[in-house]
Amino acid sequence: MLHHGQPRTPYYATKHLAEGSHYYYKIPLWLTSRVTQLYWPLAKKVNFCVDDYKYSENFSHLVSTYSKVLQGYLNELIPEHRSFYCTYAFLYDEPAISRTISELIRKGIQRLILLPLYPHYSCFQTGTMLNIAVKALDEQTKPLSKDGICSMDYRVRTMSHVSFRCSTIDRWSSHPVIINFWYNLLCTELKDHDSLLFVAPQMRGYNSSGYMREIWTTCYRLMEHMNEAVPWKLAWFSGWDQWPATTLESINLQLYFLRREKRYRTLVVPIALIMPSFESESLLPDILQNEGVDLLSPPGFSPVLAHGFAELIKNHLMGRRASSQLLHRCKFCFSSRCLLREAMLAPKEIPFNEIFLKNTLGNGELIQQQKRLQISA
């Protein structure tokens, strides 16, 4: 289970922002660290969220609970796949993704499934985590070669008996779990409200339009499941880690449109959030405090969500592949890590005598090879 994590102190918050910009904008870390230090006195939103977080339960405790419950569900639901071991890792917190993968490989595994805890795919959230994960796998393993065919998703640890297949559930917003999750929460709240305002953090650049379409589709499917009970709108806001702040925030504008239609009892639903976070616990309450609306935050733990995770993995093990969108290259993306992610998590069988793969991410042969594969596909 993969997540970005949440910093508990200003020091880790600046580190989080710097590394996030480094991974996303492909800018050297020393430069993003310097810019973050200069920006920090103006980062009132981040300071507010971090300061408020010290009164909340540690986010890692919640993710740990989900991983333990999910492990029990999987061992009961599909015992034919032997015993499952579920763990979690963070991109900017501990336990780190690279270290966790190293420990799993050292212990020995037969199948590794990466499950991002973001239902809607975005390069900023899911993409960066998967890139770091495949980088760690590439540094510690090699692709399996059999009968002259090289399978990038089957990994072998050299000088060891460990071999395994790796895969990911890169996006799961179309699975019924996200609809059932919010439907159960809305059933008890809707009778006291006459309209819904769905809100989600805005993503910029790198195929952000695909992320926005997924969010809108989830809202539409949820309202269809509820028989279009009340009017609804979709608005965007800047997440706590989006800096500089985007100008596309539209919560106030969409509330104005609802009130123009005489809808004054609006319930705000953070449709992209499935767990308590800086956005649901600090940022959105602050934005909405003078708007006269109610906020429906995700609960600390949801059995519906835990069962949904188990169903996702069961379907994946039964043969459901990663989405075809994982092969889609963002415009102007030149990252070799994205090429490696495509090769490993959305693989094609490659004649072994045509590929030269070193365990170095910036290897020019790898980049050229994957470009040729993309063109031939």
Report if residue 13 sits inside a domain: yes
Cβ count within 10 A of residue 146: 10
Q: Give the pair of three-digit tokens for residue 131.
A: 């890139």
User: Do 267 and 187 belong to one domain?
Assistant: yes
**pLDDT of the residue at 352:** 45
Q: Is the peptide bond before 299 cis (omega within 30 degrees of 0)?
A: no
User: Do 162 and 190 belong to one domain?
Assistant: no
User: Do 193 and 287 belong to one domain?
Assistant: yes
DSSP string, 237-302: E--TT--SPPS---HHHHHHHHHHTT---EEEEETT--S--HIIIIIHHHHHTTTT-EE-PPPS--
What whole-number distance in Å separates Cα of residue 30 and Cα of residue 21?
11
**111 pairs with which residues across the strands?**
165
Report if residue 306 sits inside a domain: no
**pLDDT of the residue at 24:** 77
**pLDDT of the residue at 362:** 43
Report if residue 66 sits inside a domain: no
**pLDDT of the residue at 38:** 84
**pLDDT of the residue at 373:** 43
User: Do 193 and 295 belong to one domain?
Assistant: yes
User: Do 265 and 182 belong to one domain?
Assistant: yes
Report if residue 92 sits inside a domain: yes
User: Do 186 and 291 belong to one domain?
Assistant: yes
User: Do 258 and 192 belong to one domain?
Assistant: yes
Report if residue 64 sits inside a domain: no
**pLDDT of the residue at 357:** 41
What whole-number distance in Å separates Cα of residue 59 and Cα of residue 56?
8
Please count the structural domains in the chain: 3
User: Do 295 and 354 belong to one domain?
Assistant: no
**pLDDT of the residue at 329:** 67
Who's near 34: CB < 8 A, 6+ residues apart? none
Whether the CB-CB separation of 132 and 91 falls below 8 Å is answered with yes
* Residue 294, domain CATH: 3.40.50.1400
User: Do 146 and 215 belong to one domain?
Assistant: no
Domain that holds residue 120: 87-170+322-376
Q: What is the CA radius of gyration of the chain?
A: 21
Amino acid at 136: A
User: Do 206 and 272 belong to one domain?
Assistant: yes
Task: Identify the segments of the chain with pLDDT beneath 70.
Answer: 205-206, 243-248, 320-325, 327-334, 348-377
Report if residue 76 sits inside a domain: no
Model pTM score: 0.86
**pLDDT of the residue at 347:** 73
User: Do 184 and 237 belong to one domain?
Assistant: yes
pLDDT tens digits for 37-57?
A: 888 777 788 888 888 887 777
**pLDDT of the residue at 161:** 87
Report if residue 30 sits inside a domain: yes
Give the sign of the dihedral formed by CA 23, CA 26, CA 30, CA 35. negative
Report if residue 65 sits inside a domain: no
User: Do 144 and 92 belong to one domain?
Assistant: yes
